[in-house]
Amino acid sequence: MAQTTMKALVYQTHGGPEVLEYVDHPMPVITVDQILLKMEAIGLNFADIYRRKGNYHQSGSSPWILGYEGAGTIVQVGEEVKDVRVGDRIAFADSPFSNAEYAAVHVDKCIRLPQDISCDIAASVLLQGLTAHYLVHDSFSIRKGSYALVHAAAGGVGQILIQLIRHLGGIPIGLTSSQENKKVALECGAHEVFLYSEDWIDRTVIYVSTSDIKKGGIDVVYDSVGSTLMDSFGAAKTGGTVVFYGMAGGDPPHVDPRYLMDRSLTLTGGDLWNVTTSRKIRQERSDYLFQCIREKSLTLADAKRFKLEEGAEAHRLLEGRSSTGKIILLP
């Protein structure tokens, strides 16, 4: 008899980590253009926290399954799926319901894993790495000599951002909340790191002006904190850019366009789903990251691993912003 249930991490109401439950749940039933993936590693991200709290739109009715990132092995393919087969290792970064033993994934969302990239690595790098990739190529094109200020520089995206900025010839400067995190960001390749508890706006501007008198400030600020948005404008040079792509520290303030006009500032938002618009693009951007890993221009910190049933504990760690690097869940 075919398996009808699986274990999954679900929640039936919005709230804190305590709303998460590890329960039996019906197995996914794939459509003709989907694959069924036996999950081996699942990436945990702030988007999961936002959904659990009710800050992000959710379709359907409870119980909901979190998770948009993971990797595993195909155990079933739909009738119209032609170019992947049972036994292939596949990852994804934008398909729902990954916090379970099995997940149904549309073939267009599949990212084929090369032999030298493990499921753990894929679940550790893809969503955050693809985010960093579009931030340095699409939101603002990093060039040789670009000064870039990275909020939450010791976090998962922050560490990858620093390394990709350096890879492209830019000069990354980090912001962190502690001396321990400062050390992490420096080890990733940040030229300098300032603490949030310092007068980091003035210190950043002085650092850049001392290093390059013609700059007068930061070319681009990558702000994933949200509540720091106006401070990010203060660090940016006249004519500079602020990229808002997260709100880990709270909602951003409303911005008067006249403020932008006065200093010719650019404010742009970032969303991964707007740039990963086809399977071909997903694979190309992922292959870029895989090649950076091979060349060691991108080094991943050891991921923190939790059993899927320990999901609430993993959420507390990530939400407390005390972790550095990636957190993955293991079914």
The full set of domain ranges for the chain reads 5-125+277-330, 144-269
* pLDDT exceeds 60 at position 81: yes
**How far apart, in Å, are the Cα atoms of 87 and each of 78, 113, 122, 326?**
14, 12, 17, 26
Tens of pLDDT, residues 17-68: 999 999 999 999 999 999 999 999 999 988 899 899 988 767 777 899 999 9
Sign of the torsion angle spanned by Cα atoms 247, 183, 165, 288 = negative
> What DSSP element (H or E) covers 54?
none
Tens of pLDDT, residues 201-245: 999 999 998 887 677 789 999 999 999 999 999 999 999 999 999
* pLDDT exceeds 60 at position 1: no
Q: Distance (Å, rounded) from C-alpha 140 to C-alpha 134?
A: 8
**Read out DSSP for 134-147?**
HIIIIIS---TT-E
- The DSSP letter of residue 35 is E
What are the two backbone dihedrals, phi and then psi, of residue 193, each rounded to the nearest 5 degrees?
A: -135, 130
Distance linking the first and last C-alpha atoms of the chain: 22
**Read out DSSP for 57-121?**
---S-SSEE--S-EEEEEEEE-TT--S--TT-EEEESS-S--SBSEEEEEGGG-EEPPTTS-HHH
pLDDT in the model for residue 3: 86
Say which CATH topology domain 5-125+277-330 has.
Quinone Oxidoreductase; Chain A, domain 1 (3.90.180)
What number of helices (H) and strands (E) belong to the chain?
9, 16
Whole-number mean pLDDT of the chain?
93
| Rama region for 223: left / alpha / beta (φ>0; ψ in -120 to 50; rest) | beta
Q: Distance (Å, rounded) from C-alpha 137 to C-alpha 92?
A: 21
Nearest one of 249, 292, 248, 242 to 270, comparing CA atoms: 242
pLDDT in the model for residue 322: 66
Q: Distance (Å, rounded) from C-alpha 22 to C-alpha 271?
A: 30
Provide CATH code, domain 144-269: 3.40.50.720
pLDDT band at 75, cuts 50/70/90? Answer: very high
Residues 6+ apart with CB under 8 A from 194: 173, 174, 175, 176, 200, 203, 204
> Is the link from the previous residue into 26 a cis peptide, with omega within 30 of 0?
no
Task: Give the pLDDT mean for 266-275.
Answer: 91
Q: Between these two residues, 250 and 276, which has the higher pLDDT value?
A: 276
Task: Give the pLDDT mean for 111-131.
Answer: 96
> Following CA atoms 50, 56, 60, 64 in sequence, which dihedral angle do they give, to the nearest 10 degrees?
0
Q: Distance (Å, rounded) from C-alpha 84 to C-alpha 74?
A: 8
* pLDDT exceeds 60 at position 276: yes
- The model carries a pTM of 0.91
Residue 235 CA, chain-centre distance (Å), reads 24
pLDDT in the model for residue 42: 98
pLDDT in the model for residue 210: 86
* pLDDT exceeds 80 at position 127: yes
**How far apart, in Å, are the Cα atoms of 320 and each of 10, 60, 285?**
21, 29, 30
Tens of pLDDT, residues 312-325: 999 999 888 666 77
Residue located via tokens 């990709």: 164
Task: Give the pLDDT mean for 79-107.
Answer: 96
Question: Are 70 and 103 spatial neighbours (Cβ–Cβ below 8 Å)?
Answer: yes
pLDDT band at 250, cuts 50/70/90? Answer: confident
